[in-house]
Structure 1
Amino acid sequence: MANGKHPVDVAVGGRVRELRIRAGMSQTKLGEALGVSFQQIQKYENGANRMGASRLVQIATALNVPLAHLFVGVSPQGEEPETAPLDKEASKVARDWAAIPDQNMRDTLRKVVKSMARAEA
């Protein structure tokens, strides 16, 4: 912890960022939902500031995810998560995906992407 950041705080913060992006929510919007600035959200996401239990519940509620989703892939030792964080391109796709309201359209697109992935393999 040379930089003062605990690895678990960094991992949970990264997970908050990933889920926020998947939800198509900006740091500003999440900050407004929590009553804090977007700068505070940045500090949570990069692990500079720790999040207490009540704040984690607020974040999960604002992102409309179960609280446990904030800890997926996070180990007690703060080791690398089991799944890699989203890269920028995948984040854009996730944000666009979240904006599609029609479940039938999502199902069709999922099949198209799966078919394309198989064709490339």
Structure 2
Amino acid sequence: MDKDSLASIGQRIQKARIARGMNQTELADELGVKPQAIQHWERGTAQPKTSRIPAIAKALSVQTAWLLNDESDLSSKPDNSSISHDEEFILNQYRKMDSTRKKIFEDIASVLTNQDSDSAK
């Protein structure tokens, strides 16, 4: 991969990470790498292992093809344009949670949703 390709992959990783409201350390923790690896990828001084690309895409909620593609594919970028500011805030907070907190949040949301649908009857 040439230097321009390294930089563009790094730029897309950074763009998606910021869109998710994550910092480099949070992404590194989710991927099981050191924060310095994320820094190098985003600066274009190193590239992630090919085998790691699907995990990066999953962690950033983007398609693998978008990370690897030199051309912007708007359909595979994070798209929060159809949700309200409040929904986006909740989504970003959820994405920052560890798996235990996500489960608690999901349980609470389930109870509240069932309660709302029960009260509408």
Please classify the TM superposition score into its range, dividing by the shorter chain length.
0.5 to 0.7
Residue pair 1:24, 1:99 contacting (<8 A) in 2 also: no
Please report the TM-score for the alignment, with normalisation by the length of structure 2. 0.56
TM (norm. structure 1) is 0.56
Task: Work out which of the residue numbers 88, 99, 102 in structure 1 matches 2:89.
Answer: 99
Structure 1 match to 2:40? 43
Aligned equivalents of 1:26, 1:17: Cα separation in 2:
9
Summarize deviations over 1:57-102 as a string: whole Å, max 9, x none. 1100111221122135x15xxxxx799xxxxxxxxxxxx984244x
2:50 corresponds in structure 1 to: 53
Superposed CA offset, 1:24-79 (max 9, x none): 1110010001111111100011111122221111100111221122135x15xxxx
Unpaired stretches in structure 1, ≥5 consecutive residues: 76-80, 84-95, 102-121
Structural mapping, 1:1-121, within 5 Å: 6-72=3-69, 74=70, 98-101=88-91
Q: Deviation above 4 Å: which 4+ runs of structure 1?
A: none
Query: Do 1:20 and 1:63's aligned partners in 2 also have CA atoms closer than 8 Å?
Result: yes
Q: Percent identity?
A: 35
Pairs aligned (count):
79
Preserved contact between residue 66 and residue 73 of structure 2 (Cα < 8 Å): no
2:42 and 2:54 map into 1 onto residues whose CA distance is 15
Asked which structure has the greater CA Rg, the reply is 2
5+ unaligned residues in a row in structure 2: which ranges?
Answer: 75-85, 92-121
Calculate the aligned-residue CA RMSD, in Å. 2.5
Q: Which has the higher contact order (CA 8 A, sep 6+)?
A: 1
Whole-angstrom distance in 2 between the partners of 1:59 and 1:48: 17
Relative distance call for 1:64 and 1:44 in structure 2 (3 A) is same
